[in-house]
Structure 1
Amino acid sequence: MSDDRSTPSAAASGSAGSAVSDAQIDEAAALLAAGELVAFPTETVYGLGGDAQDPNAVARIYAAKGRPANHPVIVHLAPKGDPEYWAEHLPADAHKLIDAFWPGPLTLILKRAARIPAAVSGGQDSVGLRCPSHPVAQRLLAAFDTRRGGHGGVAAPSANRFGHVSPTTAQHVREEFGDTIHVLDGGACDVGIESTILDLSRGFPALLRPGRVTPGEIASVLGVAPRLPDGGDATAPRASGTLKAHYAPRTPLALLPFEQLEPHLAASRAAGMRVALVARASRAGTWADAANVHFVAAPEDPHIYARELYGLLRALDRAQVERIFVEKLPDTLEWIAVNDRLGRAAAAFEALE
């Protein structure tokens, strides 16, 4: 991988990974092998994992999250796992991207091998595969892969109730599920938003969900830019985290350019409402110190913003505010992933506008 790519490595989470003992890894792998669920850290968010080849385990994931059965989950593989076992065919572009970005926050959508249960795909003929870089995830996946004779895969959407803010710490998972789910604590996630999802199942690369691996980085590997999501790709497979409303806090959230936020802020203050404002300090002006406005200075760097986003939304749910107003970020490729998550969070409350 060239030096100009920003994909994090497993070393970034090394200290947290070493805090999880071999015994804890073995216990978690045994639970997965028994059809139970385990929440574990990845570099993106914490996943709620189950044996991807056990339809009953996958059904438990859906039930725990309250997730629609036709909404597919991503299969996580160990670093030495065999993606060709899971896919009907591994095209040349997939090999290039795996060499460049795995382990890391890139999910590939491929045609599903007939041996793989349709439960992980929401009934579709495709399957999403990725290899995470977090050391705890890698150790767990390797241990489970050994138990499954070299063909172990863990289906793992984000470890939260469906549609809610994804978890980036073990405590976030516990807030969602209490003590009903076994959790491996690998510290805070380094990337902070879900993986990039790239579809290769139709003969061309198409971005289904933006993430840390950018369209430009993909293009530099493939020699062609992926199609970007425009809402009009009717043949695209369903993929994790691509519903219009998703990643939402409990508190109503509005996402608007700053000049369109100001009338809402003024009206809310006039009504005596306590609200939150998330905006870059360079734009906030006097609103940063206004009465009844809980101001949060948004990071100017898109990677830092992504890392902090879900923790921030969870904190604002506890801040006793009635509305959250968020400044829409520049409409550029470097901000595409953060804008995507914020846009889906705001979509959950569009009826309130």
Structure 2
Amino acid sequence: MPDQTPAGFPAAAVNAADIERAAALLDEGELVAFPTETVYGLGGDAESAEAVARIYAAKGRPANHPVIVHLPPQGDPAYWVKDLPPDAQKLIDAFWPGPLTLILKRAAHIPPAVSGGQDSVGLRCPSHPVAQALLAAFAALRGGYGGVAAPSANRFGHVSPTTAQHVREEFGSAIHVLDGGPSDVGIESTIVDLSRGFPALLRPGRVTPQDIADVLGEAPRLPDGSDATAPRASGTLKAHYAPRTPLALLPFEALEPLLAARDTNERIALVARASRAGAWASATGVHFIAAPEDPHVYARELYGLLRALDRANVTRILIEKLPDTIEWIAVNDRLGRAAAAFEAQT
């Protein structure tokens, strides 16, 4: 096997032997954490109900909450599904490898455990070179058809990991980790459902609704809470991606009364754009973080920021709600789900 050390990921120290060892662990039914361009995944053999059960157990994840199957670039998505509709092929051609997951009808020979018992399955081909090397090596052990089921490598509902150290903070030495450096995108993939004959966005991400519309010639249905027939999908529960420190997400004008009413002995974190923070940026007892003005930068830094704030000795995290525009849809989605975990407390 040629050297699989990835270029452009400075923290990575992965070589061909590391890849082969990790692929062998997957082949033996063990779990491996590995980097993708979105977040680090906790991977297991997607065709082994036992390996998928180990993923659920390690995360503390409900067994009816599906996981995404990751394929190498040379993998065959048709192996995993009943049929591959033309719209799926168009999106694959446009965005794979990359941060897009497609929901399609699951082939009968694929165990239902990977889908949370549903008749659909989520497929994605990541662009990170370490992920691609691992997936290719594992597929080679399975005659070219192996896939790796991999939700984010963290305890269920907690902040997703974007570095190998984040994974180690979650699981210690219990999980074998491939270090591919920090994830470049920083939030989970866009999920598009094509299992019902029309495109529907289930989870926003780097690939935007406009990107999808440009390829398909029609806009995907957007999530509005009224789509009762939508399949369950990763990361779509109301409360998710949450730090351990209570978090509130509000427009800045609604944050100011909370800041003004704080106890003088309380230390509060404030995450807001510098253009809005004003005097609160230097107020006593306020741990101010200037939020990135660019949505891609904000997404890349978001989970690392939330993890850092859990270590910052603050009692609460107050975050400025971002504009309700399409470029902020993914960041607002993650922040909203993080805040939902604490809504009863705020």
Instruction: Please classify the TM superposition score into its range, dividing by the shorter chain length.
Output: over 0.9
Alignment pair present for 1:265 and 2:259: yes
Query: Could you say if the C-alpha distance between residues 291 and 17 of structure 1 is closer, same or farther in structure 2, counting changes exceeding 3 Å?
Result: closer
Matched, 1:256 2:259: no
Name structure 1 gaps, 5 residues minimum. 1-10
Does the 8 A contact of 2:11 with 2:182 survive in 1?
no
Structure 2 equivalent of residue 289 of structure 1? 282
Partner of 1:6: none
Q: Which residue of 1 aligns with 2:50?
A: 56
Query: 1:28 maps to which residue?
Result: 22
The residue matched to 2:275 in structure 1 has which SS? helix
Partner SS, residue 104 of structure 2: strand
- AA aligned to 1:97 is L
1:1-353 matches, within 5 Å, as: 14-16=8-10, 19-268=13-262, 270-353=263-346
Residues 274-293 of structure 1: CA deviation (Å, up to 9, x unaligned): 00000000000000000000
**What is the CA distance between 1:272 and its match in structure 2?**
2.3
Q: Give CA deviations for 1:38-57 in whole Å, capped at 9, x if unaligned.
A: 00000000000000000000
Distance in 2 between residues matched to 1:312 and 1:265, nearest whole Å:
20
Residues of 2 paired with 1:18 and 1:293: CA distance?
36
TM-score w.r.t. the length of structure 2 is 0.97
One-letter identity of the residue aligned with 2:248: A
Shift of 1:13: 5.8
SS at match of 2:34: strand
Q: Cα gap change, 1:248/1:26 in structure 2, threshold over 3 Å: closer, same or farther?
A: same
User: What percent identity do the matched residue pairs reach?
Assistant: 81
| Contact 1:13–1:134 (Cα < 8 Å) also in 2 | no
Note if contact 2:114-2:149 (Cα within 8 Å) is conserved in structure 1.
yes
TM-score by length of 1: 0.95
| CA shift for structure 1 position 248 | 0.1
Q: Which amino acid aligns with 2:227?
A: D
Q: CA deviation at 1:267?
A: 1.0
Residue 170 of structure 1 aligns with an amino acid whose one-letter code is A
Structure 2 CA distance for aligned equivalents of residues 267 and 176 of structure 1: 34
Q: 1:145–1:152: 8 Å Cα contact kept in structure 2?
A: yes
AA aligned to 1:206 is: A
Q: In angstroms, what is the RMSD of aligned CA positions?
A: 1.2
